[in-house]
Amino acid sequence: MGEVILTMKGIDKSFPGVHALDHVDLEVRKGEVHALMGENGAGKSTLMKVLTGIYKKDSGTITYEGKEVEFHNTREAQDAGVVIVHQELNMLGHLTVAQNIFIGREFKKGIRIDDKKMNEEAKKLFDRMHIDIDPKETMSRLTVGKQQMCEIAKAISHKAKVIIFDEPSAALTEAEIEELFKIIRDLREQGLGIVYISHRMDEIKVITDRVTVMRYGTYVGTLITKDSTKDDIINMMVGRVIYEDPKTQNMTPKGSPVVLKVEHLNAGKMVQDVSFELHKGEILGFSGLMGAGRTETARALFGADPMDSGDIYVNGQKVTIKSPQDAVKYGIGYLSEDRKRYGIVVQKSVAENTTMADLDAFANGPFIDKKKEKEIAEKYVESLATKTPSVDQLVVNLSGGNQQKVVIAKWLTRNCDILIFDEPTRGIDVGAKNEIYKLMNQLAAEGKAIIMISSEMTEILRMSDRIVVMCEGKKTGELDISEATQENIMNMATREIN
Amino acid sequence: MEAIKQNPLVKKVGFNRIVLCIVLILMYALFCALTGGNFVGSSRILSALNYAYFLGFLSLGVTFVIATGGIDFSIGPVMFCCALIAGFSLVTYGVPLPAALLISLVIGIGFGIFNGYLVAYWSVPSFITSMASMNIAKGLASVFTRTQSVNWPQANDTANGWYRYLVRYNDIPVGLIILIVVAVICAVILNKTKMGRYILCLGSNKEAVRLSGVNVKKWEMMAYILCGLLVGISAIFYVGAYTTVQPGYGDQYNNEAIAGCVMGGTSMAGGLASISGTIIGVFIISLLQEGILALGINKNYQLIITGIIVIVAVFSDVVARRRKN
């Protein structure tokens, strides 16, 4: 490790309803790989967004190469040499590799774009990284792993001095991860400062020099990786709290009837021959890696996307679901992972969102009974403990956790018996997370049947009675919670890949 | 300024609408001053109102479409198409007047169904759909009337002149009363009914509404059909005021109707609409039109001014929204 290149001190940032960063510190040295760890919602990505100018900090200082700086956008950060390699790739699929790498700063010959020069320069970059990618290849034809390499090449081409990797391995295969690590080690040799965000403990041990841990938007501490154990890091991440009442056994009442049966469901490439059963009062976890086809399965089942074939039975009755309208009719409610796009109408009030799925019940002929609407909305604000000044408040002004509660209220108003929670706690801070968990347990105890799609292993193990594991569009396993471990789930989740 | 905005009464009526009313009064005062009192008289006002009637119905109609996040550039030509075909049937084929009025409404609704179906069920962008139906409306009317202008009966026509009473009976501005009544009905539809709720919500986030199990296609189409009906009504008030219609025109009213809407606080992005705002917006445009006429300024300047108003209105809408976020 060399001298300090980047120091963030006392960084503070609030969003309406969420104190996202509470005086967080981070120090990166030249030639080190510095892990940034923490649960989902701990504030890692927010911190990096503050660094690269996507968010403006409320207070605190950033010192880069000895000078205090404040980048106003990613462009400024890039020009200074601070580059982020995103989790979601920002590539234009129909352009070539080289065109993607040099987008926005193309080499020119007169007014013409000099593709030849770009290809040469891209080749040089790849040579420097010791990888073999054809710069003339169309981006969309590369694997996700190769695309990620291109992102890294792009970062290097910005003469980066600090590169931030935001969960780079999430979508990669073992072999690709190996290759990625080789490149990261190379970059470290060359004296770059690297910030590595990941959840995967074993990777952290392998690749990083120091670890900074965050929790609930606060700075917990920094460890030297080789001097600390996995348990040290985990303890710092979870703190005293949480994982109260983890599930050790299936809580579904014995002989509980099957409320939903899906047989040989096919929908495009992402859903291939998926079958499962869901019981009354059960929480069925859907585990798998990103892109395993879990959301696609839920959407096909809910009628949001067309299904190619397969049979669905609700309460033993065979049903045809062609649209969300049909699904809702049979008492199925879907809570999307992307609430703002698919769950709520943010520019409308809490009350209006609450009755969205069941407006007929609040109407006399064509007219809406606003008094009745207000009553039910207030009832659910109270029973779900939604934090809002009134039911007339626009949903856009609520925090993520409270928005999620509005979506839950919507489906409870409709009296749905089958609820599909797709990443129920994504983007929700930890306190609110526990409330959502409690709520889901309560709903199951009341006899609702719940499908919970989650990418967080801890969430799956904490909430599920049974677990379905998917990989590359296929169901690769099914486990009772009593026999489930992180390892055997992971095995099933990667079965198709290996 | 903030204090005024937070005043409960102002909040209830809407700051934007109060500003619009002030603009309307100032404009009236300005025209009175510039024309040296020539403008005060009732004939100018009545003439401005004549303009406001048909434009008002058009603007009310397109308000619903814009609330869904769509746009309709066919309203003006469709209105002319209604007036031409209904009038031609009345004058040339001797169809009874009530039937002719009904024809106008049916044609309006027909275009509404056409636009709405393509947009909602086939996902054709409303911009394209309405451009197409604009041409269809013009062509259809020209074919039907053999490219002749149509003269609806005059008021002194004892058998068929009574339709003009819808606009004015002696000195009573019947049209104004009808416009206000229809506007109130529109406001009720928009704010108190399922249809209005769904239209506004799907304009704001169609996918979320669809995933709530709502038949979004049906409700989106309903907005266009309602718009079509109002266009059909608009045609009756156009001929009630002016009696003569020429094929091949009507485009200029698109912009004015949309301008009225947007000025009144209806967001081009969908999801937000105000009926009272639309009505005041229409009054402003009608007054402007009449004022420019009274000042003896070339009519082309009116086009320029309306264009500028649209840009200012949309721009302030965008700025206000950006500040809110």
> Is the Cβ pair A347, B272 closer than 8 Å?
yes
Looking at the fold, whether A230 and A262 belong to one and the same domain comes out as no
What does DSSP assign to residue A340?
Answer: I
Alpha carbons A96 and A118: distance in angstroms, whole number: 10
**Top-ranked range on mean pLDDT: pick from A32-41, A42-51, A130-139, B129-138:** B129-138
Pair A451, A420: CB distance under 8 Å:
yes
- Side-chain-side CA neighbours of A3 within 13 Å: the count stands at 5
* Residue from B161, B75, B188 nearest B126 by CA: B75
Cα B228 to the center of its chain, rounded Å: 11
- Is B208 close to A342, i.e. CB distance below 8 A? yes
Please indicate whether, in this complex, the C-beta atoms of A324 and B213 are within 8 angstroms of each other: yes
State the helix-helix crossing angle for B275-294 and B15-34, rounded to 10 degrees.
10
Token pair for residue B9? 């009464």
What does the pLDDT read at residue B3? 67
Cite the DSSP H helix spans in A158-252. 174-189, 201-207, 230-238
Same domain, A274 and A215: no
- Is B320 a member of any domain? no
* A chain contacts of residue B207, beta-carbon cutoff 8 Å: 341-342
Helix count (H) and strand count (E) of chain A? 16, 24
CB A97 within 8 A of CB A122: yes
Tell me the two tokens of residue A474. Answer: 């296929």
Question: Of chain B residues 178-197, which have a CB less than 8 A from chain A?
Answer: 192-195, 197
B contacts of A367 (beta carbons < 8 Å): 192-194
CA distances from A190 to A31, A64, A208, A210 (A): 7, 18, 15, 18
Could you give the angle at the alpha carbon of B184 between the alpha carbons of B182 and B187, nearest 5°? 110
Domain of residue B56, residue span: 41-313
Q: What percent of chain B has pLDDT over 70?
A: 94
Phi-psi region of B72 (alpha: psi -120 to 50; beta: other; left: phi over 0): beta
For residues A202 and A290, state if they share a domain.
no
Residue contact B213–A346, C-beta within 8 A: no
DSSP A394: B
* Minimal Cβ distance to A359: which of B194, B210, B271: B194
Maximum C-alpha span of chain B: 63
CA torsion angle for A305, A308, A309, A312 (degrees, to 10)? 0
Residue B218, pLDDT > 50, answer: yes
Place of tokens 């510095």: A34
Decide if pLDDT at B16 tops 80: no
Q: Are residues A199 and A295 in the same domain?
A: no
Asked, for residue B106, whether it belongs to a domain, the answer is yes
User: For residue A169, which of A87, A84, A287 has the smallest C-alpha distance?
Assistant: A87
Pairwise CB contact (< 8 Å): B192 & A363: no
Q: Are residues A102 and A153 in the same domain?
A: yes
Q: Does A481 touch chain B (CB under 8 A)?
A: no
Residue A200 covered by a domain: yes
- Does residue A268 sit in the same domain as residue A224? no
| Amino acid letter, residue B151 | N
Token pair 């129909």: residue: A94
Given a cut of 70, whether residue A88 has pLDDT beyond it is: no
| Residue range B139-148: mean pLDDT, rounded | 94
* Residue B156 CB coordination number (10 Å): 7
Measure in Å the smallest separation between the Cα of A461 and chain B Cα atoms. Answer: 28
What CATH number is given to the structural domain containing B199? Answer: 1.10.3470
Q: How far apart are CA A131 and CA A56, in angstroms?
A: 37
What number of other Cβ atoms are within 10 A of residue B81's Cβ?
33
Do A354 and A444 lie in one domain? The reply is yes
What local confidence, expressed as pLDDT, does residue B78 receive? Answer: 97
Q: Which pLDDT score, from 0 to 100, does residue A229 have? A: 82
Sign of CA dihedral A96, A101, A103, A107: negative
A359 has a chain B CB within 8 A of its CB: yes
CA trace torsion A259, A262, A267, A270 (10° rounding)? 90
Does residue A246 form part of some domain? no
Q: Beta partners for A34?
A: A195, A210
For residue A334, which residues of chain B lie inside 8 Å, CB to CB?
Answer: 211
Sign of CA dihedral B249, B252, B258, B264: negative
Average pLDDT of the residues in A469-474: 90
Cβ-Cβ contacts under 8 Å, B206 against chain A? none
Residue B224 has pLDDT above 60, yes or no: yes
Helix (H, G, I), strand (E, B) or coil at A190: coil
- Tens of pLDDT, residue by residue over B266-322, are 988 899 999 999 999 999 999 988 888 888 888 788 778 878 877 887 777 677 666
Average of pLDDT values for A220-234?
85
Residues B230, B47 contacting (CB under 8 angstroms): no
CA distance B171 to B46: 9
Q: Is the residue at B182 inside a domain?
A: yes
Handedness of CA A96, A97, A99, A100 (dihedral sign): positive
Quickly tell me which residue has 């917006």 as its tokens.
Answer: B281
Distance of CA A82 to the CA centre of its chain: 24
State whether A345 and B194 contact (CB < 8 Å).
no
Residue A243 within a domain: no
- Report pLDDT for A443: 93
What are the chain B neighbours of A324 within 8 Å (beta carbons)? 210-213
Instruction: Give phi and psi for B68, each to the nearest 5.
Output: -80, -5
Chain B residues with CB under 8 Å of A336 CB are: 211
A364 burial level (CB within 10 Å; 0-12, 13-18, 19+): exposed
- Any A CB within 8 A of B154 CB: no
Confidence of residue A338 (pLDDT cuts 50, 70, 90): confident
Nearest CA in chain A to B188: A367
* Alpha-carbon span B149 to A333, nearest angstrom: 57
What was the pLDDT predicted at B159? 83
Query: Averaged over A272-299, what is the pLDDT?
Result: 92
Q: How many domains does chain A have?
A: 2
pLDDT of A243 strictly over 50? no
For residues B231 and B111, the answer to whether their CB atoms sit within 8 Å is: yes
SS3 string, A254-321, reads: CCCCEEEEEEEEEECCCEEEEEEEEECCCEEEEECCCCCCHHHHHHHHHCCCCCCEEEEEECCEEECC
What token pair was written down for B86?
């209904």
Token pair for A285? 């976890």
* Pair (A193, A310) in one structural domain: no
| Domain final position from A179, A210, A238 | A238
Does residue B11 belong to any structural domain of this protein? no
Q: A368 to chain B: nearest residue by CA?
A: B193
Q: Which of B212, B216, B217, B218 to mutate to test the interface with A (most CBs of A within 10 A)?
A: B212
Instruction: Report the number of distinct structural domains present in chain B.
Output: 1
Q: Given CA atoms B80, B82, B86, B89 in this order, what sign does their dihedral have?
A: positive
Residues A300, A303, A307: CA angle, nearest 5 degrees = 45
Domain of A148?
4-238
> Which of B195, B200, B213 is the closest to A357 by Cβ?
B213
Q: How far is it, in rounded angstroms, from Cα A183 to Cα A129?
A: 6
- For residue A248, being part of any structural domain is answered with no
Q: In A, residues 363-392, which contact B (CB 8 Å cutoff)?
A: 363, 366-368, 370
SS3 A60: strand
In angstroms, the separation between the Cα of residue B237 and the nearest Cα of chain A is: 28
Q: Kindly state whether residue A298 falls inside one of the protein's structural domains.
A: yes
Domain match, A234 and A320 both = no
CA A224 from chain centre, in angstroms, equals: 27
The partner residues of A13 in beta bridges, in order of sequence, read A21
In a domain, A251, yes or no: no
In this prediction, residue A242 has a pLDDT band, given cuts at 50, 70 and 90, of: very low
Contact by Cβ (8 Å): A464, A285: yes
Question: Is the residue at A403 inside a domain?
Answer: yes
Residue B272 maps to a domain: yes
Which H or E element spans position A15? strand A4-15
| This model's pTM is above 0.80 | no
Looking at the predicted structure, is the pLDDT value of residue A244 above 60? no
Distance between CA A305 and CA A295 in Å, rounded? 11
Scanning A40-79 for CB atoms below 8 A from B yields: none
Amino acid at A199: H
Interior CA angle at A482 toward A478 and A484, to 5°?
50
Residue at A307 is within a domain: yes
In terms of Cβ atoms closer than 10 Å to its own Cβ (0-12, 13-18, 19+), residue A371 is: exposed
Contact B215 A336 (CB under 8 A): no
**CATH number of the domain bearing residue A45:** 3.40.50.300
Q: Tell me the per-residue pLDDT of A348-395, one tens digit each, with 9 for 90 and over.
A: 999 999 999 999 999 999 999 999 999 999 999 998 888 888 999 999
Residue B152 pLDDT more than 50? Answer: yes
- pLDDT(A410) > 90: yes
Q: What is the ipTM of this complex?
A: 0.88
